[in-house]
Chains A and B, each alone.
Chain A
């Protein structure tokens, strides 16, 4: 008993929420969905929310969540004016879904004249319409380990983005998903569930923007399921800029079939605590996965990037590059695992984590893991942590660049490496602009 209490945090509050709302959750009349939710809440109760005693959560502590009196978000929050909805794109004609506290707001979204082959809708709407494929897509997580957070999401999910690209469709215009959190005095819990499925040989770019409006506390626990059919190619960029008291927990589960490519990049700037957990299964030969990430944290912010890439088929490859800068008392975590299963020969896997510590109180914890059961592989990982290169700083100062400016330039260049390697070209400028804005918010060089 004492041991289990160390291993997990209580989930009673969520169980109570589930009991109170089970009749009103979307699809409450659907037997299969009800059973799925029941299984979710049972799995959550069994596991409990993890503590640092659980190996996967060694460096990230969810205990602060316990002290929050969370209430479930309601769909009736007042909508912000349209120009307050952030975007990573300069264009205004791309398809866009906007979610406010986890609920789709058609008034803020752009769903008219979707490109050919694109199906884009809110999950709640689809549950109401009940297309025949929805059940299998939502239940299709048997291949991934059920975690406490994914189970919680399954039990309480209400809305989210569902994107389906038809076979052979090449979608040029990016599709933007904006998730806004706007809490008042009451901390809100939000459980978005996204489904992204690309048909054979199709291509698409999805951009996620997560932002907070105001200073309220939201706890977002999202699950995104990505399924790439043979030859499909998905570019997936995410900007996380939640309010500084919020929690951002995101689980990505991606299945890649033969010759498909997933390229993901996330820039984390906001939230008191954020965890981006990506689990990727390379199930067919020729699959390739690129995961990139940048994070800029200050004050007491905490950012955790956890990835598990499983090579299940021969001739698959992956590449990971995560870079970040940590100021004040911020803490960064990188846990990356590459698993090469037996008989998955001819694997190429590379992983890199680099962190800059800008203050004496900042902390970086990295755990880059390789787990390899096949011999014809080339896998490597690298991890570094340290301060700004003195020589580079000296070089710039010699040329009359003030220290604060020089430091800022070097941090920018440091992150630009990850942006350049993992983010699509069209978005690099917008991402770099965010990095520059972050740097400008506090002059560098005080320490």
Chain B
């Protein structure tokens, strides 16, 4: 295949630098296991990085080697062996299922419940679909429409090649390469991700989604997303999808950077439903994500909405740095953990500008033997006069073996700033369930109903097409937690 021969050629080009007998391994379409400077150079060469980016990656890699593993989160997992993983692999076609018949029936049952069309099911399950797939033509139409208004929407690799000035200006400006161990690793080895630039005064005519990006089929393990909303623009971006995604990589360390200039608004919605491992917690994705948005301009706004139901371990704190005066940050989150899932998630709202406002609504649902933590920071700097924050985080417990924890940090250095934080933890009331049961609703549906009500404030924030699926997802994620 083209990808294979390209890999071989590139490795041969820089072959001399590899002393670890790795050329022989090349037929498997991936760089050898492990991580060292040569692998970073290889990834960089493979991606055709300019020199500055290679330097940046190397700087990150060298720093990463010296960083201790972050241990403050309330999650437990065996130590990650970073040398026992592949950091680059070309899209594989060989071992994909040939048709839906070969796909795990459990997965198909879930698709069915979510009401996902057959064609999409094939794509999600990783069936090797041919090029006539509907969404491709849809995507092409979309692309044309975006070009008309000047919105740049492409993979980060394309952006580095075609818009180096923009990438260079903003990459790492919100999440510096030295930010935290996982982000630093991402900076060193990121292979894919999206890039969005919305020019001045443009309201992006549609919701952007990785789903419709043609070459997004193989979403990488180390994604890097950069979204820039120039003055007065608006964009809504959807990441992930409600259906469980087939994925072979256990460690995911993505970085998302958002930049909103004067009067710009970015709405970023995520539905994450990666493989959570089986009932005993075997397997499952480690999702260590660094997401941060900078409201650089006056009156800018960044809104994060997330529905986190998948992954064995979620470690994720989408944050807003409210630099511009009057800027607004929002965080709406639903996190559901079941079986042995662990989630430590929350947000940071850093108020720097005057009259900045932020709102945090977090709904955590813990069932089975799962553990979940809301961890958040609200900081009012002493410049942030007139700033306001409102935080509401609620946890719902289902079953007596799960845990729900709340760890907010509230730091206020300005008398004229208002911070309000409220949190509750409770369980589904027997009365509510009884009421539903009396009306002939089976226990699982009743729980789904109550939980959906509990999450309503967040579900409402999701774009329409997402919201419907997310609602079903809430129910499905809690299957087996009652009765």
Q: How long is the Cα–Cα vector from A373 to B425 in the complex, in angstroms? A: 11
Shortest beta-carbon distance, B360 to chain A, in Å?
Answer: 13
Q: How long is the Cα–Cα vector from A384 to B388 in the complex, in angstroms? A: 11
With A382-B421, A382-B422, A383-B408 known as contacts, the answer to whether A377 contacts B414 (CB < 8 A) is no
Shortest beta-carbon distance, B367 to chain A, in Å?
Answer: 9
Q: How long is the Cα–Cα vector from A359 to B412 in the complex, in angstroms? A: 11
* B415 touching A358, Cβ below 8 Å: yes
Q: How long is the Cα–Cα vector from A342 to B424 in the complex, in angstroms? A: 18
Q: How long is the Cα–Cα vector from A364 to B420 in the complex, in angstroms? A: 12
B-facing residues in A348-402 (Cβ within 8 Å):
355, 357-387
Residue in contact with A383 in the complex, picked from B380, B402, B410, B413, CB distance below 8 Å: B410
Nearest A residue to B394 via CB reads A380
B411 at the interface (CB under 8 A from A): yes
Residue in contact with A385 in the complex, picked from B398, B406, B409, B412, CB distance below 8 Å: B412
Instruction: Find chain A residues with CB under 8 A from B382 CB.
Output: 360-361
Instruction: Find chain A residues with CB under 8 A from B240 CB.
Output: none
Nearest A residue to B74 via CB reads A371
Shortest beta-carbon distance, A410 to chain B, in Å?
Answer: 13
Q: How long is the Cα–Cα vector from A300 to B124 in the complex, in angstroms? A: 59
Residue in contact with A366 in the complex, picked from B397, B406, B410, B422, CB distance below 8 Å: B410
Q: How long is the Cα–Cα vector from A373 to B382 in the complex, in angstroms? A: 38
With A372-B395, A378-B426, A383-B410 known as contacts, the answer to whether A345 contacts B400 (CB < 8 A) is yes
* A385 touching B401, Cβ below 8 Å: no
* A357 touching B426, Cβ below 8 Å: no
Residue from B385, B401, B414, B415 with most neighbouring chain A CB atoms (10 Å): B415
Instruction: Find chain B residues with CB under 8 A from A363 CB.
Output: 411-413
With A377-B425, A383-B421, A384-B419 known as contacts, the answer to whether A372 contacts B412 (CB < 8 A) is no
* A377 touching B412, Cβ below 8 Å: no
Shortest beta-carbon distance, A241 to chain B, in Å?
Answer: 25
* B422 touching A380, Cβ below 8 Å: yes
A66 at the interface (CB under 8 A from B): no
B284 at the interface (CB under 8 A from A): no
A107 at the interface (CB under 8 A from B): no
A343 at the interface (CB under 8 A from B): yes
Shortest beta-carbon distance, B481 to chain A, in Å?
Answer: 11
B77 at the interface (CB under 8 A from A): no
* A371 touching B420, Cβ below 8 Å: no
Q: How long is the Cα–Cα vector from A367 to B426 in the complex, in angstroms? A: 20
Residue in contact with B397 in the complex, picked from A55, A372, A381, A447, CB distance below 8 Å: A372
* B419 touching A387, Cβ below 8 Å: no
Residue from B398, B399, B400 with most neighbouring chain A CB atoms (10 Å): B400
Residue in contact with A379 in the complex, picked from B402, B410, B411, B425, CB distance below 8 Å: B425
B418 at the interface (CB under 8 A from A): yes
* A372 touching B415, Cβ below 8 Å: no
Q: How long is the Cα–Cα vector from A447 to B414 in the complex, in angstroms? A: 13
* B408 touching A379, Cβ below 8 Å: no
B458 at the interface (CB under 8 A from A): no
Residue from A361, A372, A381 with most neighbouring chain B CB atoms (10 Å): A372
* B405 touching A372, Cβ below 8 Å: yes
Instruction: Find chain A residues with CB under 8 A from B395 CB.
Output: 370, 372
* B424 touching A379, Cβ below 8 Å: yes
Q: How long is the Cα–Cα vector from A447 to B385 in the complex, in angstroms? A: 14
Nearest B residue to A368 via CB reads B408
* B405 touching A384, Cβ below 8 Å: no
Instruction: Find chain B residues with CB under 8 A from A58 CB.
Output: 409
Q: How long is the Cα–Cα vector from A378 to B421 in the complex, in angstroms? A: 17
Q: How long is the Cα–Cα vector from A304 to B390 in the complex, in angstroms? A: 24
Instruction: Find chain A residues with CB under 8 A from B422 CB.
Output: 380-382
Q: How long is the Cα–Cα vector from A131 to B251 in the complex, in angstroms? A: 61
Q: How long is the Cα–Cα vector from A293 to B397 in the complex, in angstroms? A: 30
A47-85 toward B: CB 8 Å interface, digit per residue (1/0)? 000000001001000000000000000000000000000
Instruction: Find chain A residues with CB under 8 A from B410 CB.
Output: 364-368, 383, 385
B403 at the interface (CB under 8 A from A): yes
Nearest A residue to B410 via CB reads A366
A-facing residues in B217-255 (Cβ within 8 Å):
none
* A387 touching B403, Cβ below 8 Å: no
B405-444 toward A: CB 8 Å interface, digit per residue (1/0)? 1111111111111111111111100000000000000000
With A377-B426, A377-B427, A381-B423 known as contacts, the answer to whether A372 contacts B404 (CB < 8 A) is yes
Q: How long is the Cα–Cα vector from A379 to B423 in the complex, in angstroms? A: 8
Q: How long is the Cα–Cα vector from A381 to B393 in the complex, in angstroms? A: 10
Shortest beta-carbon distance, B336 to chain A, in Å?
Answer: 15
* A385 touching B405, Cβ below 8 Å: no
B72 at the interface (CB under 8 A from A): yes
Chain B: residues with CB nearer than 8 A to chain A? 72, 380, 382, 385, 395, 397-427
Task: Please provide the 5 A-B residue pairs with the shortest distance between their CB atoms, ordered closest to farther.
Answer: A357-B415, A375-B397, A386-B418, A385-B412, A366-B410
Task: List 28 A-B residue pairs with CB atoms under 8 Å apart, sorted by A's residue number.
Answer: A55-B72, A342-B400, A357-B412, A365-B410, A366-B410, A367-B410, A368-B410, A369-B405, A369-B407, A370-B405, A371-B403, A372-B403, A372-B404, A377-B426, A378-B425, A378-B426, A379-B425, A380-B422, A380-B424, A382-B420, A382-B422, A384-B419, A384-B420, A384-B421, A385-B412, A386-B419, A387-B416, A387-B418
User: Assuming A360-B416, A377-B397, A384-B421, what are 10 further A-B pairs, CB within 8 angstroms?
Assistant: A359-B415, A364-B412, A365-B410, A368-B406, A375-B399, A375-B400, A378-B426, A382-B420, A387-B415, A447-B415
